[in-house]
Structure 1
Amino acid sequence: METRQIEYFLEVAKREHMTQAAIHLHVAQSSVSRQIVNLENELGVDLFIRKGRRVRLTPIGKIFFERMNHIVHLMDEAKREVNEHLNPEKGTVRIGYPTSMAAYTLPSNIYSFRKKYPKAKFHMTNELYDDLIEGVIQGDFNLAMIAPMPEKKLESKVAGTTLFSENIVALLPISHPLAKKDTLKLVALKEEPFLVLPEGLVFRDQVIQACNHVGFSPNIAFEGKDIDALKGLVSAGLGIALMPEMTLVDNTPQSTVVIPIEDSSLTRTVGVIYPTERDLLPTESLFYQFLIDTYAK
């Protein structure tokens, strides 16, 4: 097998179209087709089911794709590792993050890190909770900031450090009858219309479980696709929302108030994870230790 064959195979598999793959690779479509046929002849199996120029992977093709994709990740990391060992302060940190850390937590840390290492680069990927864990395991990125920290059952494939715990607070319209309270018990909100994230998101589940824990099921009035959407809905007076305290630092919308929740169980852990089956590259190790040192202070 040649490197070019693998490159062409992966591109066709991702796009499921010979012509589109050829356009992206800046080569003739006939060249792509020929290399794929040569690869299949060498392996002795069909990697694709063909329907014109559109294709899809066969079962064995899917297995081959996963293996080759992993190998390409390893090759890319090997090249990066060589370069970064020569000068780790100029390397690249590949990191995943959830939407809730997009406005303040991750940007503030990157800003502080680049004050110390101004030539360091970042490749950032916004993902959902389970995809952050899977992305670290599969090698899409080597670090991920995440909340809450994964359960122990995942520790065989990912490890990490809890950086801090943050409170969950209530965001209310400024005209709300409870808006002048210094603190609230969660049960005081049982009759309120709740604004929550969509089903499948971990923080939505945490909000519902917290309400259930104090004896009520939240009256879900609207869903917002992300934390910023929830802020807008609260600002419009459509209901109240629980959200991580860190998401409101320097970013509390007008016409709303933030009120601490007295219930001590309403917190979430925030941390950073990495794969146990791969070593962090030098620049990533620098950033990982920087995060630990920053929050230790």
Structure 2
Amino acid sequence: MDTESLRWFQLVADGYTVTEVSEVFEVSQPGVSRALARLEQEVGTPLLRRSGRVLRMTHAGVAFKRHVDSLVNDLDDGLAAVSELLDPEGGVVTLAFPLSLGSWLVPGLIRDFLRVRPRVRVLLERTSVGESGRVSPLLATRRADVELTAHRVLQPGVEWARVLVEPLVLAVAPGHPLAGREDVSLAEVAGEPFVVRTAPSMMRTQTLGLCAAAGFEPRIAFEAEDLPTVRGLVAAGLGVAVVPAMGLPAPTTFARTRLVPLTDADAQREVGLAWLPGRPLLPSAEAFRRFVLAG
């Protein structure tokens, strides 16, 4: 049995799709499916069964996964321990994070951490859009030591602590009638076209929820895969958008858009740090975790 197949089985057994696994490990979906089939042949019985669009563990899969988790975790600990022994003052920390935190929060955290632990090497892994309330496959398979999230995590077996609360703001074109305002409520733009993230997106879900609380359903004019494109469409005058403040003191102008604070309740998102408590982090990763939470 190869360890990659075991890692893929872990993820699928935990509820991640074959598509998500293939994206994280940069392999084809058929390749993941064939590897899982080979694993079942080696074990001698089905480990997964299809239930609608997802795969669920069989009774044999449940029994097998307990031992797979232990085996893979011990292997990862052993490899990391050797690395720490070779350079006890250094070590490696793998940090997972979403794109929306990569342009402002992540660089500052790493800079400040390396001032106190200059020999630690920080590896960066960007997470893809996932389901609200859970961590990415990167952390679930321990390819990352810790993960920054732009939402509260409620997933069993995962520890999560809030790092900060990030305000959400209204992005408008510089010439928009509301561009000169100190703040604004979403009800004031109920009749305007909106630019939103493409589903699935927690930012999109939160935008729709805020609009519903304000008493209207937004007219979606454009959908975009990422926040830079959202801001670009807004700057072109093609709509308004709810976006994270990214540490900027609003009202302000950023990327050719005017960011205006929202007065709506819950116009904010929780940014936090997640880790798996099932085994201790190695010294460099634990030092980084404590540093981030000390804030």
Q: Under a length normalisation based on structure 2, what TM-score does the superposition of the two structures give?
A: 0.74
Deviation per CA, 1:94-150: give whole Å up to 9, x if none. 121111101111111111111222221122221123373443233222210001111
Name the larger-Rg structure. Answer: 1
Q: How does 1:220-235 map to 2 (within 5 A)?
A: 220-235=220-235
SS in 2 for 1:265: coil
Q: How does 1:149-160 map to 2 (within 5 A)?
A: 149-151=152-154, 154=155, 156-160=156-160
Deviation per CA, 1:15-60: give whole Å up to 9, x if none. 767xxx9xxxxxxxxxxxxxx9xxx7xx58599xxxxxxxxxxx9x
Distance in 2, matches of 1:214 and 1:258, equals 19
Q: How does 1:197-212 map to 2 (within 5 A)?
A: 197-212=197-212
Unmatched segments (≥5 aa) in structure 1: 22-35, 48-58
Backbone CA RMSD of aligned residues: 3.6
SS in 1 for 2:103: coil
Question: Which residue does the alignment assign to 2:108?
Answer: 108
Distance in 1, matches of 2:165 and 2:6, equals 41
Deviation per CA, 1:202-253: give whole Å up to 9, x if none. 1110110011011011111101111111111111211111111116579920
Question: Which residue does the alignment assign to 2:167?
Answer: 167
Q: Under a length normalisation based on structure 1, what TM-score does the superposition of the two structures give?
A: 0.74
Distance in 1, matches of 2:192 and 2:209, equals 16
SS in 1 for 2:260: strand
Question: Which residue does the alignment assign to 1:270?
Answer: 271
Distance in 1, matches of 2:253 and 2:120, equals 27
Q: How does 1:112-123 map to 2 (within 5 A)?
A: 112-123=112-123
Higher helix share: 1
Distance in 1, matches of 2:201 and 2:264, equals 22
Question: Which residue does the alignment assign to 1:95?
Answer: 95
Shift of 1:268: 0.9
Contact 2:130/2:200 (<8 A) preserved: no
SS in 2 for 1:271: strand
Contact 1:6/1:68 (<8 A) preserved: no
Shift of 1:66: 10
Judged with a 3 Å threshold, the aligned counterparts in structure 2 of structure 1 residues 82 and 176 are, in CA distance, closer, same or farther, namely same
Deviates most, 118-127 or 132-141: 132-141
SS in 2 for 1:129: coil
Contact 2:166/2:247 (<8 A) preserved: no
Contact 2:135/2:153 (<8 A) preserved: no
Unmatched segments (≥5 aa) in structure 2: 10-26, 47-57
